[in-house]
A and B are shown apart, each in its own frame.
Chain A
Amino acid sequence: MRNIESAKRFTAAFFEREEDLIAGAAEARQAGFEVYDVYTPFPVHGMDRAVALPPSRLTWIAFLAGALGLVFGLTLQVWTSAYDWPLNVGGKPFNSFPLFIPVTFELTVLFSGLIAIGVLFARNRMWLFSKRKVFERVTDDRFVLVLRQSDASFDIEKAGRLFARHNAISVVEGDQFV
């Protein structure tokens, strides 16, 4: 888990164009810098690959949650209709399996969707009273690349040259940004 407190010092570069950001981030990573994170006003496609971010495992959460909903829906219907209090409705069998499919499907979707979004918020630590800081203009039109100065060997001049080559408009150093 990445924690703000555990990091020591950061270097942030501001870009105006997403292309510069992607190329800059990819090159920084290849040059051995540790890319802490990237901040963008919209999802920049190709960014995950540039910073070698593995695909999210949330799809599996959604799948398992859906499976849970499916099992819950089927169990609920079979148990209530065929075991707990079987009622004869129009002569249909107590366990009218095909007629249980629609509700099972709806519960599958409901569980999968709600749990996926709940885990997304939890994993991103998004909640109503979040006090997280935001880079200036990053929700508008700025792209920010943040490098972690992991140890003393961090070469700030090399980083500066790299950013300049990719048309960074400014570079800032600090203890804590976000």
Chain B
Amino acid sequence: MAVSAREVNETEQHRASFEIAHPVYSKLRSPLILGHKSHAEVTRDICQLLDPKPGRGWWISLSISLVLLIIGVVATVHTVMTGIGTWGLNRTVGWAFDITNFVFWIGIGHAGTFISAILFLFNQKWRTSVNRSAEAMTLIAVMCAGLFPIIHMGRPWLFYWVLPYPNTRGTLWVNFRSPLLWDFFAISTYFTISAVFWYLGLVPDLATARDRTKSKLRQTLYRVMSLGWNGSNRTWSRYETVYTVLAALATPLVISVHSIVSFDFATSLIPGWHSTIFPPYFVAGAVFSGFAMVMTLMILVRRLMHLEDYITPQHLENMCKVALLTGSIVGLAYVTEIFIGFYSGNPNEIFLIINRGLGPYAWAYWIMFGCNALVSQLFWFKKLRTSIPAIFVISILINVGMWFERFVIIVTSLHRDFLPSSWAMYTPTITEVGLLVGSFGLFFTCFLIFLRLFPVISINEVKGVLGYAKH
């Protein structure tokens, strides 16, 4: 077949312009996905996790999660039927376990959005292996979080009263000046945007699963959910535009969510809460705790689902670095709080700092300080950042520490207030512990179902980064 010299030249030009269009390719990079996979192998590896019947490990995990979930359901029913009196709250400590759990779970969610939106905007290609499950974690964590304020309302069936809708009470509108109301708007927006962002990323992969699965039921599910996706470039072009727009929207959104959660405390006059440091301190803490949870989950998922080629030690090391940075910010915030407490000269502030570190809840304070500010510093050592058992242990310690951070902020600020005659101690009741246990049950039940129902790793995005180190 005759090919003219001019045509060959043109082809060369196109090749050259193609390479210029991909400035991220470099000989210096190590591959993101191990095992020199082809596109077809990626499809096969991820899709074959869906089809076979779940193994024994999955059923055992699901059973344990369901038992925890049932404990939570019992505790919820008991609370709602009897009242908030089933909790250990008193007139002095009006917020404790449930708000701790709420802030804890909302914080967990932030890492998913950080990975999916912020790292996307910064063109961090390594996010592709973990973003799908991190976003699923976000959605489930926000669901767990949202339950606590609703249960705390006492009459959860009236929770829609927080919506500004025309009603027969006047119309009596909601109070838009209250951070608690901002919270409602922030969290419902966060959940909605995270859900559509996650779903949009899932559509092309659902089409891949649709074209491969043999099960009739799954095929119907994937066909409906993939909305007739056929990989057209026009569709891809618009898809990527909207994906970028959503990432750009989710980035300030995630910062606003935990800032507004911190306003719940910071706009009050309670020593230990009334502080301008709270919004950045809470956002850093949220990303920190969320990354710890992502690492815990990813270490389990890569092991149990044999995804070692996709979630590599390099991915975990990168996440450790984010945890190190945010953990250091959290540590800096702890020290700043102590300094500002004394520097303020306000006797109530100074008392609060001393009471936190040396008072009856000092044990909780030092768990918090040790697990967050000190343990996270271990990630300075490359040996620990690349050792998977070490990361697993540290990530769990961080999760514990971050739960205690919220407990310390809430309970130690309240239990000894301005009037010593009203000082009180707070101890959680079995019902409150049941609610916390139940939220973990809900989290793991939903996550296990996600693992079986949807592609755990973003197939189309991973295919896009296979050439990361080749060129």
Contacts and interface: CB of A to CB of B under 8 A. Distances in A.
A130 B170 CA distance: 46
Contact of A138 (B210, B230, B239): B230
A58 B241 contact: yes
A126 interface: yes
Contact of A102 (B40, B185, B240): B185
B390 interface: no
B245 A59 contact: yes
A106 B171 contact: no
Interface string A112-148: 1110110011011111111111110111110000000
Interface in A32-63: 37-51, 53, 55-56, 58-59, 62
A22 B464 contact: no
Contacts of B234: 37, 53, 124
A128 B21 contact: no
A38 B200 CA distance: 20
Contacts of B260: 102
B421 interface: no
Contact of A135 (B21, B230, B249): B230
Contacts of B245: 58-59, 62, 112-113, 116
Interface of B is mostly: helix
Nearest to A102: B182
A139 B228 contact: no
B219 interface: no
A45 B232 contact: no
Given A58-B242, A114-B192, A127-B227, A53 B237 contact: yes
Interface residues of B, number: 74
Contact of B11 (A89, A99, A141, A166): A166
Contacts of A125: 228
Given A39-B233, A42-B463, A123 B238 contact: yes
A99 B176 contact: yes
B196 A132 contact: no
A113 B249 CA distance: 7
Contacts of B36: none
A81 B176 contact: yes
Given A106-B256, A107-B185, A116-B246, A128 B227 contact: yes
Nearest to B22: A45
Nearest to B236: A43
B164 interface: yes
Contacts of A56: 237-238, 241-242
Interface string B189-207: 1001100110010011001
Contacts of A47: 233, 236-237
Contact of B176 (A26, A39, A80): A80
B256 A105 contact: yes
A152 interface: no
Contacts of A178: 230, 232
A92 B463 CA distance: 55
Interface string B427-471: 000000000000000000000000000000000110110000000
Contacts of A85: 170-173
Interface in B26-42: 38-40
B246 A89 contact: no
A19 interface: yes
A156 interface: no
A130 B206 CA distance: 14
A55 B241 contact: yes
B3 interface: yes
A117 B242 contact: yes
Contacts of B185: 102-103, 106-107
Nearest to B187: A106
Contacts of B40: 140-141
B229 interface: yes
A58 B230 contact: no
B155 interface: no
Contacts of B176: 77, 80-81, 96, 99-100, 103
Contact of B175 (A27, A87, A113, A130): A87
Contact of A26 (B14, B182, B250, B464): B14
B17 to A, nearest CB: 8
A117 B246 contact: yes
B181 interface: yes
The 4 closest A-B pairs by CB, nearest first: A130-B228, A141-B39, A126-B227, A80-B173
26 contacts: A19-B15, A27-B10, A39-B231, A39-B233, A44-B233, A45-B21, A46-B17, A46-B18, A50-B14, A56-B241, A56-B242, A62-B245, A80-B174, A100-B176, A102-B182, A102-B185, A102-B263, A106-B256, A109-B189, A113-B249, A114-B193, A124-B234, A137-B211, A140-B40, A140-B208, A165-B3
Interface of B: 1, 3, 7, 10-11, 14-15, 17-18, 21-22, 38-40, 43, 164, 170-179, 181-182, 185-186, 189, 192-193, 196-197, 200, 203-204, 207-208, 210-212, 224-225, 227-242, 245-246, 249-250, 252-253, 256, 260, 263, 460-461, 463-464
Given A59-B245, A113-B197, 12 more contacts: A37-B232, A41-B39, A46-B22, A53-B233, A62-B245, A85-B173, A99-B176, A99-B177, A105-B256, A106-B186, A113-B250, A131-B228
